Amino acid sequence: MGKQFILKLLFITSILGIASCTKKEDKIIPGNTPPPDNTLPTGLKANFINKSYIGLLGREPSDLEYNEALNSLNLNNFNEASRSTVISNILENDEFYTRQFEIANNEMLNGLDTFEVNDVIYTFTFLLTQPQYEPFYEQIQSELDRLVEYKSIPSLLNSGQLSIQGMHRICINNYFFDQLNMGALNFVIATYQLFLLRNPTEFEKTEGVKIIDGFTGILFLQEASSKNEYLDIFLNSTDYAEGQVKQMFNRFLFRSPNTEESVYFTQLLKQNLDFKILLVNLLKTDEYAGIE
């Protein structure tokens, strides 16, 4: 009886051993989507959505915008591609350009009010009807044209007829900016501080003043002899692109870029001066998303 029990036990054990050695094939289901990664807290995604809307549009998302963004992040496990999609969708809102104009207007023109602009436009328009100012008609008309262009910034941005770089040019090339930064030297210093986040060297000051005053000077290794040429060279320079990268890092990551980051993002922006591409690539990062 004991012997028969032992034989049965050995037989069952051998069967189980063979079964355990049998290779198990994993079945792959085409088009199967992995479940959401629940290890990432919802608060992390919520913070990403809210700070992106506030940083890019100056406001919190609506309930609909928030839910759409959260669903997109959940479906794709909050990966880099899903974060890129959310940022891209926010940037498609016309409010993005409105926000950029508000920032530029505050930084470059001390929050210039529309009423002030309209008042000066009315004055210039009136002067063009006065015969005693005829010798100055050309200069007055030039100032008037620049202010009309300034007022058109929001609509030109939203229609795609004006880039952010173009907006920067208009904001520093008008009657009010000239009043805030009177004289060639102050103009040169202001452009370096605003866009490059540094003061110009003594050589840059000297050459810049010469150019603004209508004499031939050197700016970023190029010759120029007028204010328009100064702006052309300055706003298309690598230094300008690098300065904008620094501003975006400071604004969204609260730090300056390291050398490698500065080179990469400066080249990215310099390729086509598309600030949206720069922002998508910066804000989709783990650092901005708060993922350690």
Q: Is residue 193 part of a domain?
A: no
| Residue pair 195/243 in contact by the 8 Å Cβ criterion | yes
Total domain count, the chain: 2
> Given this model, what pLDDT does residue 9 score?
38
Residue type, 178: D
> Given this model, what pLDDT does residue 39 score?
55
The C-alpha atoms of residue 278 and residue 271 are separated, in whole angstroms, by 10
Domain end among 77, 93, 109: 93
pLDDT above 60: residue 30: no
Domain end among 64, 93, 122: 93
The C-alpha atoms of residue 168 and residue 30 are separated, in whole angstroms, by 51
> Given this model, what pLDDT does residue 184 score?
98
The C-alpha atoms of residue 149 and residue 139 are separated, in whole angstroms, by 16
Which residues fall within 8 angstroms of residue 253, CB to CB, at 6 or more apart? 282, 287, 288
> Given this model, what pLDDT does residue 41 score?
73
Domain region containing 285: 240-289
pLDDT above 70: residue 274: yes
The confidence band for 132, taking pLDDT boundaries of 50, 70 and 90, is very high
Q: Is residue 219 part of a domain?
A: no
* More confident of the two residues 34 and 186: 186
| Mean confidence (pLDDT) of the chain | 89
Q: Is residue 177 part of a domain?
A: no
Domain end among 76, 93, 110: 93
> Given this model, what pLDDT does residue 32 score?
44
Q: Is residue 261 part of a domain?
A: yes
Q: Helices 227-235 and 202-212, interaxial angle, to 10°? A: 130
Mean pLDDT, rounded, for 109-115: 95
> How many beta carbons lie within 10 A of that of residue 117, not counting itself?
18
Q: Is residue 132 part of a domain?
A: no
Three-state helix/strand/coil letters over the chain: CHHHHHHHHHHHHHHHHHHHHCCCCCCCCCCCCCCCCCCCCHHHHHHHHHHHHHHHHCCCCCHHHHHHHHHHHHHCCCCHHHHHHHHHHHHCCCHHHHHHHHHHHHHHHCCCCHHHHHHHHHHHHHHCCCHHHHHHHHHHHHHHHHHHHHHCHHHHHHCCCCCHHHHHHHHCCCHHHHHHCCCHHHHHHHHHHHHHCCCCCHHHHHHHHHHHCCCCEEECCEEECCHHHHHHHHHCCHHHHHHHHHHHHHHHCCCCCCHHHHHHHHHHHHHHCCHHHHHHHHHCCHHHHCCC
Q: Is residue 221 part of a domain?
A: no
> Given this model, what pLDDT does residue 27 score?
40
pTM over 0.75: yes
> Given this model, what pLDDT does residue 40 score?
65
Query: Tens digits of per-residue pLDDT, 171-207?
Result: 999 999 999 999 999 999 999 999 999 999 999 999 9
Q: Is residue 184 part of a domain?
A: no
Q: Is residue 122 part of a domain?
A: no
